[in-house]
Chain A
Amino acid sequence: MLFVSALVTGLGLGAMYGLLALGFHVTYVVSNTVNFSQGSSMMLGAVAAYMLAFGLGWPLPLAIGAALAICALFGLVVERFLVRPFAERGSNGWLMATVAGGVVLDNLALFTFGKEPRSFPSPLAEEPVQILGVGAYPLQLVIPVVALLIAAGLSFVTRRTRMGKAMLAVVQQPEAARLMGIDTRRVIAVAFALSTVFAGIAGILIAPLFNVAAGMGTVFGIKAFATAILGGINSAWGVVLAGFLYGLVEALTTAYLGSTWTQIVAFSMIIAVLFLMPNGLLGRAAVQKV
């Protein structure tokens, strides 16, 4: 019983971490940079969808679509103003700049959305269904499926579409990609937009299970980054796998040891794994030349 319900919770949480981590992965492979405001992007998706759907009364699908478009736009802004100016002169200032961008966004949301967390009604989170003797909302079962579908979709898109192949080209041979006429800046911008959209989807999916609040993304973003590092940030399946692993470790720790141990156990696992495998579970080391 305890185990099954922990499993359901863990897979749901893990799918969210994996989805956010996939966002860290796509920007990292094309540009060696990441957006440390991924958690805020997630919050943005949830808050924007909430405000459009329940504030302005838009139909839910339209509100969700618009919220994801806002997330994409935020990704483009992050890349253009918080990452590119630093990355192009070889500075790692993007690290602090994206952290700062997240702080600014969180607080702007606080003023427009308010401090009070609100619940996000969803038809998929009203009536629990019984599986193996435990009750779970249908949404909890949907979430891992959606995350896996998105991961598979990403893999399909990059292999089959023109833009996707251009992206792979930039990852594999950045210089030759430019010689093929690929605008690497554009590809990097698209990768950032994609990463914030993934985060937005995660936010909207999880909103009905938790409350929507301006600060909802912070800890999520940090754990998702931990997940990306754990899996090996340059491996797409590595980060998704690590997401599920991390979610399960969290849920099982909470179930058997109590919630305060969750962070201690999960973060200790990160340090231990990095100590033993400095490139993560499925990551590859870069070769250094002199």
Chain B
Amino acid sequence: MAAPARSGHGQPAAGPRAAMGRVTASAWGGPLAVLAIAACAAGVAATAEGYYTFVLATVAIHVVVGVGLNILLGLSGQVSFGHVGFFAIGAYATGILMLEGLGFWSAFALAGLVSAACGFALALPALRVTGPYLAMMTIAFAFIVEHGAIEWRDLTGGANGLMGFASPTLLGQVLDDRALALLAVALAALALLFFHALARGAWGQAMRAVRDSEVAARSLGLDPVAVKTVSFTLSALLTGLAGALFAPLNMFISPDSFPFFQSILFVLIVMVGGAGTLLGPVVGAAVVVLLPELLSGLAEYRLLFFGALMLGVLWLAPRGVVGALATWLAREDPRTAGDAAPDPGPALGAADGARPPLEVRELGIAFGGVRAASDVGFVAEPGRITSVIGPNGAGKTTVLNLIGGYYRPDRGSVRLGRELAGRPAHRVARAGVARTYQTTQLFEHLSVLDNVLVALRRGRLGWLLARAAGPGDRALAEGLLAFVGYAGPLARPAGELTHVDRRLVEIARALATRPTVLLLDEPAAGLAREDKQRLGALLRRIAGSGIVLILVEHDMSLVMDVSDHVVVLDAGEPLMAGTPAQVRADPAVHRAYLGGTEFEGRPRDVPWQGPAEPLLATRALGAAYGAAPAVRAVDLEVRAGETVAVLGANGAGKSTLLRAIAGLHRPVDGQVTLDGESVERRPAHAIVAAGLSLVPEGRQVFPELTVRDNLVLGGHGRRERVRDEEVEAMLDRFPRLRERISTRAGLLSGGEQQMLAIARGLIARPKVLLLDEPSLGLAPSLVAGLYRVLADLRDERTTILVVDQVAHLALAVADRGYVLENGRVAHAGDAERLRGDPAIEQAYLGE
């Protein structure tokens, strides 16, 4: 199975990360706290001496900025280092309009609108990029505003700034500093209440969904660009309003009032308090504004202090003060969907009678000249399960991506009553196509219930503060969760779910869009046998409600059990289609999966003999991708000079086993010993140094380096340099490489790259050579040559552990074999015995 590119990323969230889902959970606690704090602040403002009211007003203004930035950073997960630009725009707009004679209130409102318009205009180019690129866009914006303020002298007064604004009035009364402070406190309270309503409403939920997984959000009908643009615009609006109050409060503004560093302090406000939390900006603004006041004798150290504070928060409380407190105080609501949940059947059934079938015709796409799918066609009928199967690299997921709108097909059509091909994913989703993913794409920080609720709207969010869900929606969501068999707490953040629950919740979420077509990408991967049986029953029930169900799956027992119709792909092209029985009986399918008779391996002349002591051994080895176990309690031994094969269907855990042994994927439990040393805790490069070499799946040669450089790099982990004679010896073994010694490896053919990868592994002079799917994607003639080389190596007493889908071939050269099923060793024994064993065929094609 395809492994995630880099381990360590995308692990499921542990406790603290998940707190974001809970913080805004209390419906009334938040607003009450806001009102209480506002009342206290108002009390202080009404009684305190002049300077303190000014400081309080400054804190309140910073709270408003913090809330604005929190919408962007906390809800949408986008960082901006340019918010001082919006703040300045708000301040200048009010100042200029008031000097032109406009009243404060009109100027205030207009300033907010101008700032929001600037935010909208900046969002258009800025949101095409992410990460450092977005940060750069916002920095550039802040500088343009700052220097614009200096240069546009007629309007802004240039470096001298603006002053002499008329005092704001309310009902004919002039507002003094005290009144302005009260006004700032009121604005801060309103901003916080607005954030509360937004975060809990449909838009806030959509923003967090887009933040957690844009891919999944699109497949629920959400348009990430629209959602992020709204977030950016709102953020600019609030920051602009804060600036609009800053001008009359300070009576004077100039470009120096808005230094670039202020943007970083704004981000600090959100981070100190806790991104995504309601009260975080209050804490953050208090810290950022008050601490310099308290340390006024140490004013010089102000920035040093802020730098250190920022580092302290990042190291010790990455969720911020409020976030950390909330995690600490939070108790999970234990309520589950329960038996009272209504049957979602009526909601899933076709509202308007018969549903159309999904018709796929002549669908094709190529990536960089490689045809990933071509001429794929089938008709999937409502109420039936259509499975798409095929060996690794057959193009199954590509076909799902084409149907779902994630890829734009080069040619062909996808019809569901009307043409869908070429439409963007969120439009396809709104037309009634839902899906799940090979690696589950849940919204990690949202609760299980929210994951389902966000899907119920199919991307139609309503007005800005529309509620996320009514009681009816909630009942339907609970019903769907009960329907798929999820029995855990509804409030649990999706990032904390076990693997099987992740699969179930993802299916419930897809069903919540009340789809006409449901695409499932390997829903059984990583599931235990009993869970797979339950899944099979669930799939039948879903199909029973009249949905067009399309299943991509490696587990052949499941496919053969539940499918009405099976489409077999091989190398991107349709191989055959028919009933499960027809497919199982088809010789072409057997060849595609197990390797045909055109492959001939050369067995050993004399049976292997050697010490019984293993050179490489695993004991109770377990490995997982996040919560999904991939290898369970595997005991395996390879003795010196022996060649051992690991077999099993796609997704059985073969590659993961090799990766765990080689240190690319840290095992969760068990031991790996190499020549008596325990290596399971060592990093990959240290395991190489200990004498283990893995030739990885997909060859992974260094494309921009020459063949010679690739070979020499193979010896990087050794103590002594690679000598020229060693390179020569490899070239003797692989003569094709000699002709191409100075060619860049990326230009080699697949077969040549595989030879190079093996040579590169051998040059390290390993005690054990591991090979992961060496024949994958190679033409049959090349595979034969490859296996001749392996037989030679074996006869020279190289110790080899090989994983290969082409079971017949691997067993021909091997002395012994292990068959993996579902991550466990299902069979083991002499290669000769396994060759005739029907259990092998069952492991690949189901019972």
Contacts and interface: CB of A to CB of B under 8 A. Distances in A.
B304 A96 contact: no
A166 B702 CA distance: 10
A173 B143 contact: no
Contacts of B406: 290
A165 B709 contact: yes
Interface residues of A, number: 61
Interface string A106-121: 1110110000000000
Given A99-B310, A166-B716, A290-B401, 18 more contacts: A34-B132, A100-B310, A103-B303, A173-B702, A175-B696, A178-B683, A178-B684, A180-B685, A180-B714, A180-B764, A182-B716, A225-B139, A226-B140, A260-B151, A264-B143, A270-B136, A271-B144, A274-B137
Contacts of B705: 165, 168-169, 172
B491 interface: no
Contact of B311 (A97, A165, A178, A264): A97
A176 B136 contact: no
A268 B303 CA distance: 29
Interface string B1-13: 0000110111100
B519 to A, nearest CB: 12
Contacts of A169: 702, 705, 713, 716
A219 to B, nearest CB: 8
A93 interface: yes
A155 interface: no
Contact of B696 (A104, A179, A275): A179
Contact of A96 (B125, B260, B310, B714): B310
A88 B441 CA distance: 21
A86 to B, nearest CB: 7
A55 interface: no
Contacts of A181: 685, 688-689, 716-718, 764
Interface in B393-418: 397, 401, 406
Contacts of B35: none
A267 interface: yes
A206 interface: no
Contact of B318 (A93, A99, A183, A263): A93
B133 interface: yes
Interface of A: 34, 82, 85-86, 88-93, 95-97, 99-104, 106-108, 110-111, 162, 165-166, 168-169, 172-184, 222, 225-226, 229, 233, 260-264, 267-268, 270-272, 274-275, 278, 290
B77 to A, nearest CB: 9
Contacts of B694: 179
Nearest to A263: B147
A15 B520 CA distance: 53
Contact of B662 (A110, A179, A225): A179
B8 A88 contact: yes
A220 to B, nearest CB: 13
A93 B303 CA distance: 19
Contact of B441 (A172, A180, A263, A290): A290
Contacts, number: 191
Contact residues of B: prevailing secondary structure: helix
A168 B136 contact: no
A101 B308 CA distance: 8
Contacts of B215: 290
A267 B137 CA distance: 9
A90 B311 contact: no
Contacts of A166: 713, 716
Given A180-B713, A225-B136, A229-B133, A173 B701 contact: yes
A102 B304 CA distance: 10
Contacts of B685: 178, 180-184
A88 B7 CA distance: 10
A91 B14 CA distance: 13
Interface in B428-446: 437-439, 441
Interface in B285-326: 300-301, 303-304, 306-308, 310-311, 314-315, 318
Interface in B3-38: 5-6, 8-11
25 contacts: A99-B310, A103-B303, A104-B307, A104-B308, A107-B301, A107-B303, A162-B716, A166-B713, A168-B702, A169-B713, A173-B701, A176-B702, A178-B683, A178-B688, A179-B684, A179-B761, A183-B685, A184-B685, A222-B139, A261-B147, A263-B147, A267-B140, A268-B144, A271-B141, A274-B133
A213 B713 CA distance: 44
Contacts of A222: 139, 143, 260
A92 B303 CA distance: 22
B106 interface: no
Contacts of A264: 143-144, 147-148, 151
B79 interface: yes
Interface in B666-708: 683-685, 688-689, 693-694, 696, 700-705
A261 B9 CA distance: 44
Interface centre among B131, B141, B147, B441 (most CB of A within 10 A): B147
B304 A107 contact: yes
B639 to A, nearest CB: 23
A271 B704 contact: no
A271 B689 CA distance: 48
Contacts of B8: 88-90
Interface residues of B, number: 79
Contact of A103 (B136, B304, B437): B304
Contact of A179 (B315, B439, B693): B693
Given A90-B9, A178-B664, A263 B144 contact: yes
A203 to B, nearest CB: 20
A233 B131 CA distance: 12
Contacts of A111: 300, 304
A100 B303 CA distance: 10
Contact of B136 (A101, A165, A226): A226
Contacts of B401: 290
A138 B308 CA distance: 41
Interface centre among B6, B135, B301 (most CB of A within 10 A): B135
Report the 4 A-B pairs with minimum CB-CB distance, sorted nearest first.
A181-B717, A103-B307, A275-B125, A107-B304
Contacts of B701: 173, 176
Contacts of A179: 662, 664, 684, 688, 693-694, 696, 700, 761
Interface centre among B311, B437, B439, B703 (most CB of A within 10 A): B311
A171 B306 CA distance: 35
Given A168-B704, A180-B717, A264-B151, A175 B6 contact: yes
Contacts of B397: 290
B458 interface: no
A73 B177 CA distance: 51
Contacts of B551: none
B438 A290 contact: yes
Contacts of A89: 8
A254 B623 CA distance: 61
Nearest to B77: A92
B751 to A, nearest CB: 18
B674 to A, nearest CB: 14
Nearest to A168: B705
B760 interface: yes
B131 A92 contact: yes
Nearest to A107: B304
B748 interface: no
A24 to B, nearest CB: 9
A90 B267 CA distance: 20
B150 interface: yes
B9 A233 contact: no
A108 B718 contact: no
B716 A233 contact: no
Interface centre among A107, A262, A278 (most CB of B within 10 A): A107
Contact of A104 (B6, B9, B150, B304): B304
A169 B714 CA distance: 11
Given A176-B702, A263-B143, A96 B314 contact: yes
